[in-house]
């Protein structure tokens, strides 16, 4: 009986938090179209997010291309289908593996950073001081960060995909004596707009989810240093779960749309 009550209580808290997050998103869409527009802060956040994540995304993409090709090559070799390697790797990375893996990497870097930063500002009462001084902290802190994450994540994913394909081409060049020119010719022959467009569109939603959850957890952080850690940790957990939900919906819709 006690366990049942505890489970029901957890479900209640979960749905309450979903409602608060929805209201937070509604407030974002209201504030984003109202004046004043914080362009300087937006550009600063875009630069910080992209600059600090570039190396991590590049290394992740390169290793992703290497490992995926090394693991797939023996299986294709058994069926005499090694020539299909560039097509299979490029379609897999561009459609699904690249956007999801890189979004998860950026979740750990960007969403947790936003949660910790805003959580620290809430704990040290900097957000309260902004409200008292007449500044809109939601506009300055939240809107700029969500927009920056939404705009920068697609660029990071494209960069990671390119590096991943280069890593795959390097393996094929060393193990299969395939030139880089031939490899990328096969890649561009295999990739279609029906592969690129859905992946690009859902990457914007990935960025929005990363910024939204990170800002939500940090902006409403509980008092104390423990609350900052919880905000950072829960931002990563909630965002990761939300990314998989968005990915499922995006794949489902794109399959219906392009099948028609």
Q: pLDDT by residue (tens digit) across 210-255?
A: 999 999 998 888 777 777 888 888 889 889 999 999 999 988 888 7
Q: Choose among 206, 90, 92, 209: nearest CA to 157.
A: 206
Residue 25 lies in a domain: no
- CB count in 10 Å sphere of residue 189: 11
Q: Choose among 52, 54, 70: nearest CA to 158.
A: 54
Residue 138 lies in a domain: yes
| Count of structural domains, the chain | 1
251 HSE (CA, 13 A, CB side):
13
Tokens of 44: 């600063």
pTM: 0.89
Pairwise CA distance, residues 117 & 125, whole Å: 12
State residue 244 phi and psi, 5-degree precision: -65, -35
Residue 249 lies in a domain: yes
pLDDT for 260: 46
Work out the mean pLDDT of the chain and round it to a whole number.
86
Q: Which of the residue ranges 22-31, 84-93, 125-134 would you say has the lowest mean pLDDT?
A: 125-134
Can you tell me whether residue 44 is helix, strand or coil? helix
Residue 32 lies in a domain: no
Domain span holding position 73:
37-259
Residue 13 lies in a domain: no
Q: pLDDT by residue (tens digit) across 137-167?
A: 888 889 999 999 999 999 999 999 999 999 9
| Tokens 């960025």 sit on residue | 207
């Amino acid at each position: 009986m006690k366990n049942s009550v505890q489970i029901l209580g957890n479900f209640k808290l979960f749905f309450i938090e979903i409602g608060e997050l929805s209201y937070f998103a509604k407030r974002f869409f209201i504030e984003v179209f109202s004046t004043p527009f914080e362009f300087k802060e937006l550009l600063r956040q875009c630069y910080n997010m992209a600059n600090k994540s570039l190396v991590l995304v590049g290394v992740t993409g390169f290793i992703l291309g290497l490992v995926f090709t090394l693991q797939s090559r023996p299986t294709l070799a058994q069926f005499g289908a090694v020539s299909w390697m560039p097509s299979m790797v490029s379609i897999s990375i561009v459609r699904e593996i690249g956007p999801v893996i890189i979004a998860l990497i950026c979740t750990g870097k960007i969403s947790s950073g936003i949660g910790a930063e805003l959580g620290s500002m809430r704990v040290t009462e900097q957000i309260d001081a902004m409200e008292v001084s007449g500044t809109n902290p939601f506009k300055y802190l939240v809107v700029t960060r969500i927009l920056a994450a939404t705009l920068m994540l697609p660029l990071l994913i494209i960069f990671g995909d390119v590096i991943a394909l280069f890593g795959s081409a390097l393996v094929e060049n060393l193990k299969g004596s395939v030139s880089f020119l031939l490899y990328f010719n096969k890649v561009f022959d295999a990739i279609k707009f029906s592969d690129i467009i859905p992946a690009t569109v859902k990457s914007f939603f990935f960025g929005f989810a990363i910024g939204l959850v990170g800002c939500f957890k940090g902006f409403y952080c509980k008092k104390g240093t423990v609350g900052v850690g919880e905000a950072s940790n829960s931002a990563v957990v909630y965002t990761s779960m939300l990314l998989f939900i968005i990915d499922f919906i995006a794949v489902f819709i794109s399959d219906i749309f392009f099948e028609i």
